[in-house]
Structure formats: structure tokens, C-alpha cells
Chains A and B, each alone.
Chain A
Amino acid sequence: MPDAAPLWATVILPVALVSVAVVTAGFDAVLSAAAVRGRPGSPREVGTWAAAPLREAFRLLAQQPRRTIAADVALGRIGVVLVPVAAVLAGAVLPLGFRPVSDPAVGIVWFNAMEALAWAAVWLTGWGPNSALSLIGGYRFLAQGLAYELPHMFAITTAALGAGSLRVGEVVAAQDGLWFAVWMPVAFLVYLLSAMAMSFWGPFGHPLGRDTAGGAAMELSGVDRLVLLGGRWLLMVVTAAVSVPLFLGGGNGPLLPPWAWTLLKTALVLAALVAGRRLLPTLRMERYTEFAWLVLVPATLLQALVVAVVVLNR
């Protein structure tokens, strides 16, 4: 990719993504713990709940990895590592305010290509350990990919169409005054759905579902498990954060500096996803696929048509 990023930004990006992911996971852990244990007694208790993901991370670091018989260790390992790597690479086109770490001319396509890597990653993770339930989990993610990817592509294409550019920076600039979320609501909602689907999380967590004892992640322990589950949170943070420049006006906003607006909007989107996850049960793909192809694909196509007509008549 051209437009070499400033070196400091490449260092800061993963760190920033990880810290946002830790905070998000902590928030999610607090909501879950409140469901399991009832109202928290004190703010201190909330603090301990919020630190649960960190504690779990340290526990996994200390755990020895285990092997299964006749496993394809190489492919499984590649799959596990690909998840956070794809997330960070996708995050490279995230603008904090108006300037992404790198702003390639085809940033939106780049983002989409990196999420496609997650397809391969989850399947490989399920394939590696030579375990039936884990493989079923991997396959589920491919079915999920087939269900969510088309509406998702149409949704981000719609945003690019509205700006007349595939460059993320220009998409933000095009929303000065009116956010895309306002006049492309269908695309925005579909994007949010597919953000969860892509990070196989929440209602789209079937590939790692309880009914398969953890699905693709079932046989993972120690560092492998930490990398995969941590990578999942990273993916979630990145996709949620990309919705801000694509649909919510990026750094545009009164009073506050652009970076503050970006952070604030990202935090709101993440909070909405973490809270909204509790309203939906796990979506099994044999149900969702039909809905995606019969309802979402036509809806996003119509949305794109409306936007195209508006753009042509400007």
C-alpha cells in the first residue's frame, strides 16, 4: 500500500486497539456478572468484575498449551494468529479524526479484504485440532460468512457510493453536515449486524457456540485461546470503529476536537453492540441464511439504488 504511515502510528494502533478491546470486554463482563450474581454491592465489586477478562488473560498465559492427537498444528496455529493480525491490518485504515494511519485510495476494499482473512482463520482454527465439534464450529463460520458477507459488502459499497470514493478519508469528508447513517439507515443497520457477524460474537457467536462446547475454540488452551478470543474482541472493536467514519461522520462534530468525537462515537457504537447482544439469541445459520438472502440482500440493493439516484441528481 502506498501512503506510508508515520512510524509512531503503526506502533500506537495495536496498543490503542488492545486497550479499547480490554475496556469493551470489561464492560461486557460487568453486564454478564450482574446477570449471574445480581446487583453489585459496591463500586469496588464492579471494578473486580470489569477486571475479569484481564484475570482470565493472565490465567491463560500461565496455562500450558495442550495438543490433540493427529492435529494439524501448523494450520491451526496459522488460523489462531490470523484473527488478531487481520483485525489490526483492517484497523490500519481507521481515521482518528480525519487522518487514518494509512489512507490508501482503496481503503474500504482493503478493510473488506482483511475481514475475508477472518473467514479463513476461523475455519483453520476449527480444522486444526482434529476434533469433530471444533470442525463443525469452523464450518459454521463459513456458512455465516456466506450469509452476512453479501449484504455487508453492499452496505459498505453504499457508503463509498455516497462519497464517490473508496478512500476512507474522503468518505468522512463527504459527511460534513449530514451523516450517512441518517440517509442510509438500512445500510447502517446491516453494517452493525455484520460487524457482529464478522467478529463471530454475540448473536452471531454460533461458530463458538455452547452447543458444540465452544466450537472452533473448543480445543484451544493457554496462549492459543488467549490469542483467538482476544483477536475476536479486536475484530469487534475494529469493525465497530469503522462504522464511525463510514456512517457516523467520523470526526465531524461541534465543540470537541475530531479525535474526541471519533472516540466518543466508537464508544457509543460498542456500548450499543454490547448491550444489544443481550436482546438477541444466537442466530443459527440455517435460519439466518434465508433471511439474509431473501430480505437483507434486496433491502441493501434497494438502499444502494436510492443512494445512487440521489448522487446522480446532485
Chain B
Amino acid sequence: MALPAVLPGATQARLGVEAELRRRGWETAQAPAAADLLVVCGSPYPEEDRRLDTLLRTMSQPAARVDVTRPEHAAQALDEGFALLRDKAASRSESPLGHEDAAAGKHDAHPAKGTAPAGPAHGPHHEHAGPGHPGQDAPGGHSGHEAHTMSTVAGLPMADRAADRDGLSLDRLNLPLGPVLADWPAGLILRCALQGDIVQEVHVDRVPGPSDGTSFWNEPWSRAARGEPVERGAAARRRCAAHLDSLGRLLSLAGRPDTAARLRRLRDDVLAGAPSVHCGERLQALTKRVERSRTLRWGLAGLGRLSAERARQRGVTGPALEADGDVHDRLLTWSREARRAVRDFDDGRPLSTGRLIGPRGTVEGTVPPSQALLDVLPELLTGTELGCARLIVASLDPDLDEPVAVPATEGAHA
């Protein structure tokens, strides 16, 4: 089982890894515990690199890490990862204590340490050690509430008390969601204060991304903005694939894994330049089923309402503004826009440089389109249950490959 850890700016590498995993029939793990191969997509900054190594140490042995920076390296990297795992398993069966693996290059091969590595380096101390653990705020981070000393037990911060929505004084736990989490926007970290499974407070944070801030999904429009000739067909394909990617994420969280898998396969075919007629038929069949599903509507309606009026105030452009409603409306909008995009696949005319609206909104504006989506997150998430919060995040699907800035360390108070 592979656990992909996607860094900002590594969308293409992620797509390559996903396609390669699919070709081999390897499953992706949802959490470090089940995984044995950590696949890092992108090139991490040093601090991030250290955190990923800590995450690797919290995985069950035998475990290995491989880094993929370019989509075409995915197959080779997975082969190497598999070989590493095989070697470690073999060496462990020879000597129960394991031994130093003289691995070359970027591959970390941690010695297998008996049963569970429980050194000071191990342990759910921060956000990378699995999303489930109360995380200490990173140095320079903030704790989103009254600064009084938190007691710690076994090196873990304990929960504090705070009033909940029914006026009871209940424990409040600080928990970072992300950045390594299944079906989660790459690079996003949400520092939540939870009471039970109610999100009481959210502070948006991010993993530092590449300095140029080029987004794979916005690429055709960015290039057009710079005056390069871009075919409409290419842009339409990119838009369609971006929406299919977002839809796959949302449906996977909503518990339709099969539909999500089909949408993702179609996404890769669209990007690979499959004939538009063929794509159109499959997209029609899939999206019709999704749009007609009553049970899906019953599950998603009423979550994360964002009226067009409020979206406009917060500077949201693109599908989230168009949808003018809840999570289900945003899903329908993506679905419709993806179908509309198919018609332009074979359009060879150049993209006009008038209003350049990418998959997440206006591209050439002063602010990247995902910035508004991130800004609107705290108010939409406050007071929701964790499951609903995950769906709301997926229905906005901010793209952190864009050069978005996170607000200064001041939590969004309810």
C-alpha cells in the first residue's frame, strides 16, 4: 500500500504516480499505519523533508520512502520502492534487529527498529505524524485560543476547556488536518479546534510551495495572459480534467469510491488527449448518474452554503460563485462545466485574452482564485461536524499550487 504525500506544485507528479499505481493495481493507503511505501510527490523544502522522515518513522516496518518529482519517473520510483521494501523484509527476517541499509540517493532506508520505534523522534508530535493526533503548533505557529499553559501527558498536549454551542463547557482539542491526508488539497493545513467532532475554530495554514507559484491546472490561461498562443481545445481539456479531479475527490469522500475511480481514469484520458467523442460519451454517462443520484443530494444538500452574493463579497470567482449554493450545487456546477468543456476539445482557435477564467476562477487578476476560496473556508467550516467540514473543503477544492498566502496567525474566531 502506498501513501502519497503531495507537496504544493507537484500536481503533475501526483497524476503520474496515481496513474502508475492504478496500472499496477496497488492500493493507496488512507493513513500511515496501513501503508508501507511513502511516495513523496514534489521536492520538499528541508524542514518539510525532515517532517516527512518523521512520518516515515511512524509507519509500520518494513517501510520505505521514495520521492517523485516528475511524472515520468513514477514507474521507476515505485520499482525502487518495491525493491527497498523487499530488501528490508528479507534483511529483517535474517536478523530480527534489522541493519543499516546503505541506500543510495534520495531513498531513505531507516533501519528497522525492533517492534515500534519509540525514540524521541517517533511519535505523533506534529501534523505529519498522521492527521489523527493532537498536534503541537509548529514553532512560530499559534494556538488559537487563550494562551494559558497546556498540560502535557507523555509529551502530548492535553485538551483545554471551552464553551460549546450548547453552552456546556467541554474539552477542546487542537488538531491539524493535513497536509498528508487522503483526498485533501495538496499542501493545505487546517489547524482546527475540535470539540468532539465539531469544528469550533479554523485557522488556514499551508506548506510552503514553489516560489514561482505556477499551477498546473491554470497553466493554459496563465500562458495566454503572458501573451503566448494557447489553443482553446487545450484549455478546455485542462478545465475538464481539473473539474474531474475535484469531483473525484469530493465523491471519494462522499463514499462513492467507484464513481470517483472512473472519473479519475477519465481525467487521465482527457489529459492524455483521448478523442473528444469517446471522452464525451463516458463523461455523459458518469455525470448523468452523479447528477441524478437522489441519495447523493440527500447527503450533500444544505452543507456549506455560500450564496453568490456573499461569494462575490469575498472575491470568489469561478464555479463556486456560479454554483450559488451548497456542496451539492458546487458538485453539479463542476459536472456541468466539465460536460460543456468537452464540446471545445477540438477547437483550434487561440484563447482570447479577454476574461481568462480558469477552473477555479479568474486567472489574470491581482489575487489568485484559490485565495478567495481559502479566505472563505473558516466561516464555512466553523460549527460543522468533521465529516461535513471535509466535504465542504473538497467542494471548494482550493489549489495551493497557486501563489496563495495564508493569513497572519490570527485564528478565525467564531
Contacts and interface: CB of A to CB of B under 8 A. Distances in A.
A280 B297 CA distance: 11
A283 B132 contact: no
A10 interface: no
Interface in B53-102: 58-62, 89
Nearest to A278: B258
Interface in B250-276: 251-259, 261-262, 265
Given A65-B60, A131-B133, A209-B387, A281 B256 contact: yes
A210 to B, nearest CB: 6
B30 A214 contact: yes
A219 B265 contact: no
Given A38-B265, A65-B60, A281-B296, A210 B132 contact: no
A210 B299 contact: no
The winner among B36, B183, B257, B296 for most chain A CB atoms within 10 A is B257
Interface of A: 31-33, 35-38, 48-49, 52, 56, 59, 62-70, 129-134, 136, 139-140, 203, 205-206, 209-214, 217-222, 225, 278-284, 286-287
B130 interface: yes
B390 A70 contact: no
9 contacts: A64-B60, A206-B255, A210-B257, A211-B386, A213-B130, A213-B182, A278-B256, A281-B251, A283-B255
Contact of B173 (A68, A69, A132, A218): A132
A66 B60 CA distance: 5
A286 B198 CA distance: 12
Contact of A69 (B154, B175, B251): B154
Contact of A213 (B62, B131, B154): B131
A5 B251 CA distance: 47
Contact of A70 (B25, B130, B156, B258): B156
B387 A64 contact: no
Given A36-B258, A210-B255, A217-B34, 16 more contacts: A32-B261, A36-B261, A52-B25, A64-B115, A65-B60, A66-B58, A69-B155, A69-B156, A130-B133, A132-B173, A133-B175, A210-B257, A221-B33, A279-B295, A281-B251, A286-B388
A33 B299 CA distance: 25
Contacts of A281: 251, 254-256, 293, 295-296, 299
A24 to B, nearest CB: 17
Nearest to B269: A38
Interface string B1-34: 1000000000000000000001101010011011
Interface of B: 1, 22-23, 25, 27, 30-31, 33-34, 36, 58-62, 89, 112, 115-116, 118, 123-124, 130-134, 153-156, 173, 175, 181-183, 194, 196-197, 251-259, 261-262, 265, 293, 295-296, 298-299, 385-388, 390-391
A67 B116 contact: yes
A137 to B, nearest CB: 9
A218 B296 contact: no
Contact of A218 (B30, B60, B295): B30
A210 B60 contact: no
The winner among A37, A52, A140, A210 for most chain B CB atoms within 10 A is A210
Contact of B61 (A64, A68, A130): A64
Contacts of B118: 67, 69
B252 A210 contact: yes
Contacts of A131: 124, 130, 132-133
A65 B31 contact: no
A139 B331 CA distance: 29
The winner among A32, A59, A218 for most chain B CB atoms within 10 A is A218
B33 A220 contact: yes
A133 B181 CA distance: 12
B89 A62 contact: yes
Contacts of B60: 63-66, 221-222
Given A38-B265, A220-B34, A70 B133 contact: no
Contacts of A33: 25
B112 A64 contact: yes
Contacts of A211: 183, 253, 386-387, 390-391
